[in-house]
A = this chain, B = another copy of it.
Amino acid sequence: MVTIKDVAREAKMSVATVSRVLNASGPVSDETQRLIREVAGRMRYVPHSGARSLITSRTETLGVLLPDLYGEFFSEVIRGMDDTAQRNGFHLLISRAYADRHGIETAIRAMRGRVDGVVVMSPDLDAKSLLNLPSTIPVVLLCSVPRGSGIDSLTIQNCRGAREMVTHLTSVGHKRTPDPSLEREGDFTEAAGYAGALKLLALKNRPTAIFAANDSMAIGALSALRQCGMAVPEEMAVAGFDDIPMARYMDPPLSSVHVPICELGARAVELLLHGITHKNDHARRRERVSTKLVIRRSTGGEPAERSPPQTLNREMVPIRYTQV
């Protein structure tokens, strides 16, 4: 590998001057500047980031800890993170980890020294468990329950979104509200939604609507209902959460609680970068992104949505944040 010494020798200059040119960190004559840039370019010199971070104690890399997450949510959130990270000159070190406390701690340890901060996504984990993280590096919790911890966090307004959907469902005639006997567990996969729907259908006193915790499970539920010959939404309404791009292409198109997934990732990285830059400023930051109800035919709403779906806008749009 070609080092800064090689460049210095070739340009007949000292390493100090080469470093100054490449980092614009001191006065260098125009001519010397030109020369060194030319030589460095010709020799394809790239600084060794390890050596650099050794002395600057910055890696320009952000760690991302993800749970075992499937489907489009995963890719969208990473897209948002990578966009923002790259725009700020940072790389992304991505790792999956078991979403329990031990898994997270181990993973953070492994990233130690490689990253300047970590975004931890762990929907199941109560932030309290992470209180004494083995890290002095900034952390942002994404989609966790942040109560009781002093860690920066970014969460989705799940409750509010869910409440809006429930309000919609009751407004179109569904009556039975909170009832644990009508709840079934699932792991966010289509298969789980499929199985859960079958269980609910088997009940003596069936519900009239299914509200899945994410779109993948809602899609699985739709499939189960179809195979059982149940009409949606007439005999059973179905609603999802997240509003992944796929949702509007279902039959019937799926009502869902829209989450700005990509922007969620982007914002998490922004918060982390802020935490890295203002390491001393210990004002804890908690933000919540708001959701938006999207009613389609699967809940009986908007039967008129027959027009061709427009091309999805994959660009990022501004979203509102709530400080809590």
A1 at the interface (CB under 8 A from B): yes
A303 at the interface (CB under 8 A from B): no
Does A219 contact B249, Cβ atoms closer than 8 Å? Answer: yes
Contact of A113 among B50, B69, B306 (CB under 8 A): B50
A311 at the interface (CB under 8 A from B): yes
| Proximity bits, A136-151, B CB within 8 Å = 1, else 0 | 1000000000000000
For the complex formed, measure the closest distance between the CB of A91 and the CB atoms of chain B, giving whole angstroms. Answer: 6
**Which residues of chain B have C-beta atoms less than 8 A from A222's C-beta?**
249, 251
A306–B228 alpha-carbon span in the complex (Å): 9
Contact of A50 among B53, B190, B308, B310 (CB under 8 A): B53
Does A194 contact B91, Cβ atoms closer than 8 Å? Answer: no
Does B91 contact A92, Cβ atoms closer than 8 Å? Answer: no
List which A62-115 residues lie within 8 A (CB) of chain B.
68-72, 74-75, 78-79, 82-83, 86, 91-96, 109-114
Contact of A251 among B57, B71, B190, B223 (CB under 8 A): B223
A93–B310 alpha-carbon span in the complex (Å): 35
Q: Which residue of B lies closest to A92 (CB)?
A: B94
For the complex formed, measure the closest distance between the CB of A52 and the CB atoms of chain B, giving whole angstroms. Answer: 8
Does A94 contact B70, Cβ atoms closer than 8 Å? Answer: no
Does B110 contact A82, Cβ atoms closer than 8 Å? Answer: no
Q: Classify chain A's interface size.
A: 35 or more
Residue among A82, A191, A251 having the largest count of chain B Cβ atoms under 10 Å: A191
**Which residues of chain B have C-beta atoms less than 8 A from A79's C-beta?**
68, 96
Does A249 contact B223, Cβ atoms closer than 8 Å? Answer: yes
Contact of A72 among B59, B71, B195, B224 (CB under 8 A): B71
A198 at the interface (CB under 8 A from B): yes
**Which residues of chain B have C-beta atoms less than 8 A from A47's C-beta?**
113
Given A50-B49, A249-B219, CB of A94 within 8 Å of CB of B113: no
**Which residues of chain B have C-beta atoms less than 8 A from A194's C-beta?**
249, 308-309
A219–B253 alpha-carbon span in the complex (Å): 12
**Which residues of chain B have C-beta atoms less than 8 A from A191's C-beta?**
245, 309-312
Contact of A246 among B61, B219, B226 (CB under 8 A): B219
For the complex formed, measure the closest distance between the CB of A34 and the CB atoms of chain B, giving whole angstroms. Answer: 21
A220 at the interface (CB under 8 A from B): yes
**Which residues of chain B have C-beta atoms less than 8 A from A114's C-beta?**
49-50, 61, 91
Does B251 contact A251, Cβ atoms closer than 8 Å? Answer: yes
Does A246 contact B246, Cβ atoms closer than 8 Å? Answer: yes
Q: List 8 extra interface pairs beyond A94-B94, A195-B308, A223-B249, CB under 8 A.
A: A46-B113, A70-B72, A70-B75, A74-B75, A91-B111, A191-B310, A191-B311, A223-B248
